[in-house]
Amino acid sequence: MAIICTTPTTSPAEKEQEPKQDLENDQTPPLIFNPSLLNVQSQIPNQFIWPDKEKPSIDIPELNVPFIDLSSQDTTLEASRLIAEACTKHGFFLVVNHGVSESLISDAHRYMESFFDMPLAGKQRAQRKPGESWGYASSFTGRFSTKLPWKETLSFPFSNEISGSRTVQDYFSGTLGQEFEQFGRVYQNYCEAMSSLSLEIMELLGLSLGIKTDHFREFFEENDSIMRLNHYPPCQTPDLTLGTGPHCDPSSLTILHQDQVNGLQVFVENQWQSILPNPKAFVVNIGDTFMALSNGIFKSCLHRAVVNRESARTSMAFFLCPKKDKVVKPPSKILEKMTPRRYPDFTWPMFLEFTQKHYRADVNTLDSFTNWIITNKFTV
């Protein structure tokens, strides 16, 4: 089904009232986040200093997250029970024996490091354009003017179509040139592995919610997803800034692989708790879109990334998203047991546009998006 509404136009004055956007309203050129230069300065720019109440915590506890072993069919029911327990509390769990080859993961990390080691001018060949959700971004300096994250990212699209699209390879070759063809092949293979893994996880999520295991697998079979490479350089004052601010992922499911440096934190039971790196495991968390698909039964939880003074940190995040024309709504079996509907029907492009142009992601993103749909009388 197609969207039959258009995004409403807003005046500059109205845009200043939209929550969380924090966009530059003057003609001042945006700050350039160049870690090699910023780290030799006596102090970090004020734009990267976060308010006291949001600054990183010290000596936080480790979050108790279940390990889901995907290699044993004998434990499927136990795995679904553990997932249901975790996802009703905070939406995070780890998967091990996942079948993704160690060599592919290693290659993906190696090529990521080589990209971020490039001079800034080289990375800017893939500069993210305004309004797009992929490309190279040096912090969020082009979008926001305060509370900037201490990081740089490279995001690119992945489309899992039956026709066998080579979206990732085409992106690297078309954006960075033919010399990046091998980059494209590695990340094409990595994204295909992440898509397959996410479909396995979707079967367990369906079982955990008491519906047919193939329901969500079929819904996400042809997905239009996003892959993001994250680089968090060392910072001389890590107690003042954040690598990624507190947010909930707007996508459906995130599959994250961390390097050996600690930095991921989740807000559970009114305190920040860490998920330590484990090279054998993927960190999986529920996003806002899947929370809507479960009618709020499974939680999309607030999380963030911190930085440190000594070591750079890298991570790879695959954001599973529905195909663009899929309507996001809970299965009828969930609605038979749980009413009323918490969120209206929507499509992923509608939600993505809201987070890119109208709202800075936080714990209230999905509720604010719901109000935005109702206020503007959008229909799908």
Q: From the CB of residue 49, how many other CB atoms can be counted at a distance below 10 Å? A: 17
DSSP-derived secondary structure letter, 363 = T
> Please, which residues have CB within 8 angstroms of residue 377's CB and are 6 or more apart in sequence?
5
Rg (CA), the chain: 20
Calpha distance 315→263 (Å, rounded): 10
Please name the residue that has the structure tokens 């935005």.
372
Taking each helix axis from N to C end, the angle separating 365-375 and 348-357, rounded to the nearest 10 degrees, works out to 100
Using DSSP, state whether 53 is helix, strand or coil: helix
My answer on whether omega of the bond before 340 falls inside 30° of 0, hence cis, is: yes
Cβ atoms of residues 142 and 220 within 8 Å: no
Calpha distance 20→70 (Å, rounded): 39
Which residues are the active-site residues?
313
Calpha distance 100→282 (Å, rounded): 10
DSSP for 100-127, please give it: --HHHHHHHHHHHHHHHTS-HHHHGGGB
Question: Letter for the amino acid at 24?
Answer: E
Calpha distance 80→207 (Å, rounded): 6
Helices (H) and strands (E) in the chain, counts: 12, 14
The strand ranges marked E within the chain are: 67-69, 92-96, 135-138, 152-159, 224-232, 244-247, 253-258, 264-268, 271-274, 282-286, 303-305, 313-320, 327-328, 346-347
